[in-house]
A and B are shown apart, each in its own frame.
Chain A
Amino acid sequence: GESVGLHLPTLSVQEGDNSIINCAYSNSASDYFIWYKQESGKGPQFIIDIRSNMDKRQGQRVTVLLNKTVKHLSLQIAATQPGDSAVYFCAELQGAQKLVFGQGTRLTINP
């Protein structure tokens, strides 16, 4: 079946560097994607979203890029901080009411 997946399960970056977390999706009809951050022992927290009619969307220190040609989504975090350590999930809207989550990427910040 179609699903949302992630390229890498773990990512380590130096504090202050930029982080890029990738996500592949297989449903070309999907028109809405969300990135969530999940800290240890907590529920996921909304970061940023993007619709399929956009290629890029920016938030505070975060940017989401959408490449519909290769069905690829990425989350860029600028000047990574220790508080950015978490698991990051991409999610895809399938149908009218359902979000389908990917496996997640664990981001670790090295001092």
Chain B
Amino acid sequence: NAGVTQTPKFRILKIGQSMTLQCTQDMNHNYMYWYRQDPGMGLKLIYYSVGAGITDKGEVPNGYNVSRSTTEDFPLRLELAAPSQTSVYFCAVAEFLYEQYFGPGTRLTVT
């Protein structure tokens, strides 16, 4: 039982490149979330999903896209990477809204 898995752990992108951050869960939870955490700051919600086929914007969705075709997977897509997207990205899952379980994070640098 791995819980919440995120790949890759680290990535360096050049400005304008694209990439997909993967998030997979084996907890069979409906709620999934993507957050970004800038240095010394709290987490900001990018996108979330309440179930397969349903996604919605969070606080900072610009520059990102998501999809939720299965319960298990919730990938986050960056189409044109910008330095402002340098951050640590966390995926979280929840059976109910309240108690969210976080993955280990992906550290992304855009140069």
Contacts and interface: CB of A to CB of B under 8 A. Distances in A.
B90 interface: yes
Nearest to B105: A43
Interface stretch (B42-50, B64-72, B73-81): B42-50
A102 B44 CA distance: 9
B59 A104 contact: no
Interface string B33-63: 0010000111111001010000010110000
Interface residues of A, number: 23
Interface residues of B, number: 25
A16 to B, nearest CB: 28
Contact of B48 (A9, A34, A97, A103): A97
Interface string A4-45: 100001000000000000000000000010100000011111
Contacts of B43: 44, 89, 101
Contact of A103 (B40, B58, B99, B105): B40
Contact of B104 (A42, A91, A98): A42
Given A89-B42, A101-B42, A43 B103 contact: yes
B104 A100 contact: no
Given A42-B105, A98-B58, A98-B59, A93 B98 contact: yes
Given A43-B90, A89-B42, A100 B59 contact: yes
Interface of A: 4, 9, 32, 34, 41-46, 49, 89, 91, 93, 96-104
